[in-house]
């Protein structure tokens, strides 16, 4: 029983990272659009660097998610090869 509960918490965390990716992408576009008309090139450059760093961190957290059952990388069937569209763990076949 506790195993399922910990699984659901980890799946919730994965879903949160997925939503965070889309939020960062979609929220950054209008801000970039507004900054492009402001005339502040420095603010635009700082925002782009922060936007890309935050997106990189969130994407890496999502991609490097560990399977709740076998604790191997869920989206990495091979070393340095990943597929974020997998519906089950390639190692232990735990469904998403």
Of 63, 24, 22, the closest CA to residue 47 belongs to: 24
pLDDT in tens, 22-44: 999 999 989 888 888 877 778 88
In three-state secondary structure terms, 73 is: strand
User: Is residue 89 scored above 80 in pLDDT?
Assistant: yes
Query: CA dist 85 to 30, 34, 64, 67, 82, Å?
Result: 28, 33, 13, 14, 9
> Averaged over 61-87, what is the pLDDT?
87
User: Is residue 17 scored above 90 in pLDDT?
Assistant: yes
């Amino acid at each position: 029983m506790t195993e399922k509960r910990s699984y659901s918490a980890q799946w919730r965390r994965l879903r949160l990272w997925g939503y965070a990716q889309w939020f960062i992408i979609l929220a950054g576009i209008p801000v970039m659009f507004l900054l492009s008309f402001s005339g502040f090139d420095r603010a635009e450059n700082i925002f782009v660097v922060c936007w890309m760093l935050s997106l990189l961190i969130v994407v890496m957290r999502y991609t490097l998610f560990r399977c709740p059952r076998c604790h191997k990388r869920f989206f990495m069937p091979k070393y340095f090869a990943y597929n974020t569209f997998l519906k089950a763990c390639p190692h232990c076949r735990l469904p998403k």
